[in-house]
């Protein structure tokens, strides 16, 4: 058995840049898992992952050329099938033994194990360890087959007959175990030790890898290729910052991890250059210019300390000529028409007010079952008015109505038609251009917020209201036509819509009754109610607060109340956390659960009233008097939103409750006594479950 380091490199035509990084990671993961499964490598052994525009690969330390023999337990068949009534092996058992390389002499080694009330036959067998040279082709082929590739290419090999399927045509395969080539054929390519470097910068036409350990260094020196994705990315990031600083200590490249990953996937040896455009284009909203530079040209815009765009930008080139002027000039020439288009669209759009764009919304389909964007906008406006009423914010009604009315107007503008990512943003610019108030203008942009995890929230109450209305309309609309998320699939990002509502309501402490607004919204919009929507929102609430670090049982207890006031959930959860630190909490939770079970079994209605004249035993009299005081005090604290104080007062009930269950028979023979005691328990249950359903806290 020889232990050495393994190198695998698959040379291809240019890989899709947006998926290249993940292809490299997945390929390495699959290779490691396969080798570990065959006992040739350790799953946690050190590795290096390679991915460039033209290759994916892996360098894995301490790989065996041959695994140790393995003693494996093989499941045969039920004992009733393997042995006859005389305990002699059946023909079926002997046939099975022959199939795995054993014979009748090995019957003595068979053991019986009980599984699911049946006896199953097993036998231990010493199997020869796998050899790296024998399984490497299968290892690579199966690893490639498991890559997350959305769309495969089919191409023919040089023989003109054989068709191969892969994300891009493959042209070379290196497999080295230390200094030795391991022969294998994958995708119609026979492995060797040679590969290609950079298309234009490589010092050698063919690079011959001497040893697995020398691959990275040889590729960098001889091939002008940095094979590690993460190393290239770090180099680009550092060089971008250095180049920006060399232009001005006021400038920094815009932060965009996705753009950085994409550019890293486009180059094998990066060269960062600086270009510029005419300052006149800075009159165009900078979001338009930034998006054009990033999306179309993969440039890195430069911003100053005030987050204002400069007229300089950085280019990450894949070539490094002695004179880079032609590259810079070429890129500057390419960017001008793009910026000119943005300038033209902006100038044209400003020629008419936002309200003039509304008529065109009727021609933009939102969903074939839910109508146009115009119809959708009307529903958002209607829901927004309900929210204003629910929040008692009538003074904001005019601003909310105007913001709702104009929220989708920019969808029919030239700029948003060219750059859909700018929806809302351009609406803000156009609103400000025609002197509409900042409050309304920012609400037009902010009603899409939060767009993603960690995104900022709307900047005003008007923005909050329109954002919540827009998200509620999306949820009830799509649920009404059966477009609910399933498993990992959420094509309309409905989970994100709920999280957005939760964040706005909790982080801004807005006392909106979500249950009420959703119910009223369904009625006024005449959309079909979906029973699944409530459970969907409940699940999102539960998961959201679990992610915030709250305990699952605490969340379940609070959500069981279904108050509809999402902003009250965090303080209630914090109150539960404090309550559980009290010595009386466990007994009170258990008692609450017991009371709930009694009431449920008796099918008690909450309309029952306690008749003091029917209280006979000292224990029930004491419980009633104590409860009367505690309930009043607890509700006072609850009304003041002092949820922790409200729960702590319940501790005074522990001893009276214990004594009641010790001395009093609830199900008395006298029906009037029984119903009065049930009424007392109903009053107790109501008092104990103001903040949360305490029974959920009982183990």
Q: What is the pLDDT of residue 46?
A: 83
Confidence class for position 19, pLDDT limits 50, 70, 90: very high
Query: 50, 9 in Cβ contact below 8 A?
Result: yes
Q: pLDDT tens digits, residue range 319-336?
A: 999 899 999 999 999 999
CA distances from 457 to 388, 472, 500, 548 (A): 18, 16, 8, 18
Q: What is the pLDDT of residue 282?
A: 96
Q: pLDDT tens digits, residue range 233-245?
A: 999 999 999 999 9
Q: What is the pLDDT of residue 159?
A: 82
Pairwise CA distance, residues 367 & 370, whole Å: 5
Confidence class for position 579, pLDDT limits 50, 70, 90: very high
Q: pLDDT tens digits, residue range 351-401?
A: 999 999 999 999 999 999 999 999 999 999 999 999 999 999 999 999 999
Q: pLDDT tens digits, residue range 638-677?
A: 999 999 999 999 999 999 999 999 998 988 888 899 999 9
Q: What is the pLDDT of residue 540?
A: 95
Handedness of CA 77, 81, 87, 90 (dihedral sign): negative
Pairwise CA distance, residues 317 & 324, whole Å: 10
Cβ atoms < 10 Å from Cβ of 372? 17
Q: What is the pLDDT of residue 606?
A: 66
3-state secondary structure 197-234: CCCCCCCCCCEECCCHHHHHHHHHHCCCCCCEHHHHHH
Query: 546, 523 in Cβ contact below 8 A?
Result: no
3-state secondary structure 593-613: HHHHHHHHHHCCCCCCCCCHH
Average pLDDT in the 409-415 region? 96
Pairwise CA distance, residues 53 & 200, whole Å: 13
Name the phi and psi angles at 266, rounded to 5.
-100, -10
CA distances from 356 to 350, 353, 405, 434 (A): 11, 6, 12, 12
Average pLDDT in the 156-180 region? 93
Query: 167, 147 in Cβ contact below 8 A?
Result: yes
Q: pLDDT tens digits, residue range 515-558?
A: 999 999 999 998 888 888 999 999 999 999 999 999 999 999 99
Q: If you search the block for the tokens 């959500």, which residue do you land on?
A: 559
For the chain, the average pLDDT equals 93
Detail the DSSP E strand segments found in 128-169: 153-156, 163-166
Kindly report the pTM of this predicted structure: 0.83
Average pLDDT in the 491-501 region? 95
Average pLDDT in the 78-96 region? 88
Q: Would you say residue 464 has pLDDT above 90? A: yes
Q: pLDDT tens digits, residue range 118-164?
A: 889 988 887 788 899 999 999 999 999 999 998 899 999 888 889 99
Pairwise CA distance, residues 576 & 545, whole Å: 14
């Amino acid at each position: 058995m020889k232990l050495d380091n393994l190198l695998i490199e698959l040379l291809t035509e240019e890989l899709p840049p947006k998926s290249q990084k993940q292809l490299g990671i997945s390929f390495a993961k699959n290779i490691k898992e396969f080798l570990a499964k065959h006992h040739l490598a350790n799953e946690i052994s050190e590795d290096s992952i390679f991915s460039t525009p033209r290759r994916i690969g892996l360098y894995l330390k301490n790989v065996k050329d041959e695994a140790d023999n393995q003693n494996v337990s093989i499941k045969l068949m039920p004992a009733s099938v393997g042995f006859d009534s005389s305990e002699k092996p059946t023909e079926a058992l002997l046939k099975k033994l022959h199939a795995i390389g054993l014979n009748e002499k090995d019957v003595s080694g068979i053991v019986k194990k009980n599984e699911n009330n049946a006896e199953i036959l097993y036998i231990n067998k010493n199997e020869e360890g796998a050899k790296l040279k024998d399984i490497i082709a299968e290892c690579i082929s199966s690893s490639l087959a498991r890559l997350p590739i959305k769309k495969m290419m089919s191409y023919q090999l040089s023989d003109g007959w054989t068709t191969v399927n892969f994300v891009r045509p493959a042209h070379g395969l290196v497999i080295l175990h230390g200094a030795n080539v391991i022969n294998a054929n994958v995708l119609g390519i026979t492995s060797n030790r040679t590969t290609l470097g950079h298309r234009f910068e490589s010092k050698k036409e063919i690079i011959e890898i001497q040893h697995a350990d020398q691959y990275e260094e040889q590729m960098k020196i001889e091939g002008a290729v940095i094979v590690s994705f993460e190393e290239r990315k770090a180099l680009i990031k550092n060089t971008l910052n250095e180049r920006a600083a060399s232009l001005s200590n006021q400038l920094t490249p815009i932060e965009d991890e996705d753009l950085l990953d994409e550019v890293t996937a486009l180059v094998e040896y990066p060269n960062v250059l600086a270009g510029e455009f005419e300052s006149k284009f800075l009159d165009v909203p900078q979001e338009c210019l930034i998006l054009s530079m990033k999306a179309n040209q993969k440039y890195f815009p430069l911003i100053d300390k005030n987050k204002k765009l400069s007229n300089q930008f950085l280019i990450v080139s894949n070539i490094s000529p002695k004179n880079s002027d032609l590259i810079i000039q070429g890129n500057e020439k390419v960017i001008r028409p793009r910026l000119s288009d943005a300038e033209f669209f902006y100038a044209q759009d400003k020629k008419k007010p936002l309200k003039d764009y509304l008529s065109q919304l009727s021609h933009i389909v939102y969903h074939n079952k839910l109508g146009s964007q115009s119809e959708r906008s009307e529903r958002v406006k209607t829901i927004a008015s309900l929210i204003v009423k629910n929040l008692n914010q009538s003074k904001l009604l005019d601003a909310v109505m105007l913001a709702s009315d104009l929220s989708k107007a920019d969808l029919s503008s030239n700029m948003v038609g060219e750059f859909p990512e700018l929806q809302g943003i351009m609406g803000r610019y156009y609103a400000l251009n025609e002197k509409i108030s900042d409050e309304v203008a920012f609400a037009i942009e902010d009603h899409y917020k939060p767009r993603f995890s960690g995104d900022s929230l709307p900047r005003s109450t008007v923005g909050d209201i329109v954002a919540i209305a827009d998200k509620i309309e999306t949820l009830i609309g799509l649920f009404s036509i059966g477009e609910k998320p399933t498993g990992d699939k959420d094509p309309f990002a409905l989970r994100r819509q709920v999280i957005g509502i939760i964040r706005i309501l909790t982080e801004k402490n807005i006392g909106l009754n979500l249950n009420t607004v959703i119910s009223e919204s369904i009625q006024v919009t005449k959309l079909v109610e979906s029973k699944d929507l409530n459970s969907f929102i409940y699940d999102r609430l539960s998961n959201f607060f679990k992610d915030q670090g709250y305990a699952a049982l605490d969340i379940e207890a609070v959500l069981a109340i279904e108050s509809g006031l999402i902003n009250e959930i965090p303080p209630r959860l914090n109150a539960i956390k404090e309550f559980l630190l009290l010595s009386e909490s466990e007994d009170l939770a258990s008692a609450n659960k017991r009371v709930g079970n009694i009431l449920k079994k008796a099918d008690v209605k909450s309309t029952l009233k306690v008749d003091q004249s029917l209280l006979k035993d000292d224990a029930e009299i004491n419980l009633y008097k104590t409860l009367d005081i505690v309930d009043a005090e607890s509700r006072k604290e609850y009304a003041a939103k002092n949820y922790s104080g409200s729960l702590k007062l319940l501790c005074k009930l522990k001893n009276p409750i214990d004594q009641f269950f010790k001395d009093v028979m609830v199900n008395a023979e006298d029906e009037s006594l029984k119903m009065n005691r049930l009424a007392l328990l109903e009053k107790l249950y109501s008092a104990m479950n103001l903040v949360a359903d305490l029974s959920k806290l009982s183990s």
